[in-house]
Amino acid sequence: MADITYIRTRSGWLYLAAVLDLYARKIVGWAMAPNMPAELVCSALQMALCQRQPPPGLIVHSDRGSQYASQDYRDLLARYDLQGSMSRRGNCWDNSVMERFFLNLKMERVWQQDYANHEEAIRDVTDYIVNFYNSRRLHSKLGYLSPNDYERKMTEKQPIQVSEKT
């Protein structure tokens, strides 16, 4: 799931493009810049692709922003054989998990800060994602585990044993 939000700094707006893996509610890709070209969302998706190395056919959902409809973004999806998906016009519910992440980020960190410049905001938002949201923030949908702990727990589970008798 992918989307963009904005962060106020004393130097002007900073835009955050993020990619969230719904399985573990983990932010797996992000990029920040003082403007919102297609390159911003492509950079966030490329980080996610490097981290996750998804199989062909994975669905990547976003809102209907022009960056996600751009030729650069569609070419990136095609290069990795990913399936693009967009919200229906006027339907914000499709992206509600991503919107919730942005609200948490702003309530728990951004709105408590007065960023002097973009660099300060970039460092702080990155710290929030890496050292708090993915590592320590508990999620009710994950059995009150952090995204990293949930992934660890799921990889430790033994697969279901199948009888060799037919």
Given a contact cutoff of 8 angstroms between Cβ atoms, the answer to whether 64 and 87 are in contact is yes
pLDDT at 64 over 70: yes
Class of the CATH-defined domain 2-156: alpha beta
pLDDT per position as a tens digit, 2-61:
999 999 999 999 999 999 999 999 999 999 999 999 999 999 999 999 999 999 999 999
How many other CB atoms are found less than 10 A from the CB of residue 42? Answer: 20
Per-residue tokens: 15: 């835009």
Q: What residues does each domain of the chain span?
A: 2-156
pLDDT per position as a tens digit, 81-132:
999 999 777 666 678 899 999 999 999 999 999 999 999 999 999 999 999 9
Q: Which residues contact 35 (CB under 8 A, 6 or more apart)?
A: 15
